[in-house]
Amino acid sequence: MRIDKIILKAFLQTFAAVLLLLGVMFGVLSAAFPQTMMQMTYDMGMDRSSVNFSVYAYKMHDRVEYIAYGADTALAAGLYSKADECLEKLVSDDDFNEYCNERNKTIPEDTKTTYQAYYFRQLCLSKYFNGNGKGAVDRAVALMGDTFTVGNPLTAVLAEARLDDNLATMQYIKSVMDTLSGKSYSADDQENFDKVYSAVSKWIS
């Protein structure tokens, strides 16, 4: 019986030592190689951890592809608060356009969109899905500048608000578009503006 206790004690001590070693190794990898951990945790189905590691890797190395990885992972997992955080960093990065232009090369030529437009839409939709309809609209207007292209982020937010029957957000979009009506758009953008304005006016009446 005494020998059994000694064996059990030795086993538990060894097991504890192994756990401690694994914990130390995990900590070292997390601190020194967050870019490795973001992929490893993603492969393990730990989406939130993967996003957190991508943010940490971005802070350490300032590489736009790391924060884009976090944004893509958060969007796919429906982690819209995290997506908002990552996308704000992504679209503000100096290398954002260069990164998107590289990815645009993979888009079929007959597809009338870009990764820039995609990320702008997803940023605003993430805010909307987090319950911040006004913030989503305001960010969309800021991102659009002096354009009103087809598939713009404001139209994306409006489409979701329409699906949700979110009258408050649709009314706010209408009021914002009232102020935008004085802008000088290109012919195509003006045509798109008029169509969207007519639709939202009808939906809130």
Phi/psi at 148 (5° precision): -145, 60
- Rounded to whole angstroms, the Cα distance separating 116 from 95 reads 12
Contact 139, 123 (CB under 8 A): yes
- DSSP code for 149: -
Which tokens is 169 given? 């957000």
Question: Which candidate, 118, 137, 128, places its Cα nearest to that of 160?
Answer: 128
- Rounded to whole angstroms, the Cα distance separating 98 from 104 reads 10
Which tokens is 63 given? 């590489």
- Rounded to whole angstroms, the Cα distance separating 130 from 120 reads 16
- Rounded to whole angstroms, the Cα distance separating 33 from 31 reads 6
- Rounded to whole angstroms, the Cα distance separating 140 from 190 reads 17
Q: Output the pLDDT for position 7.
A: 57
pLDDT in tens, 92-148: 999 999 999 999 999 988 777 899 999 999 999 999 999 999 999 999 999 999 999
Q: Output the pLDDT for position 41.
A: 85
Residue 120, Cβ neighbours under 10 Å: how many? Answer: 23
Q: Which residues of the chain have pLDDT under 50?
A: 1, 17-32
- Rounded to whole angstroms, the Cα distance separating 60 from 67 reads 11
- Rounded to whole angstroms, the Cα distance separating 153 from 172 reads 15
Q: Output the pLDDT for position 109.
A: 81
Q: Which amino acid is at 134?
A: K
Angle (CA) 65-71-76 rounded to 5° is 125
Q: Which amino acid is at 174?
A: K
Which alpha helices (H) appear in 62-114, and where do they start and end?
64-77, 80-92, 96-104
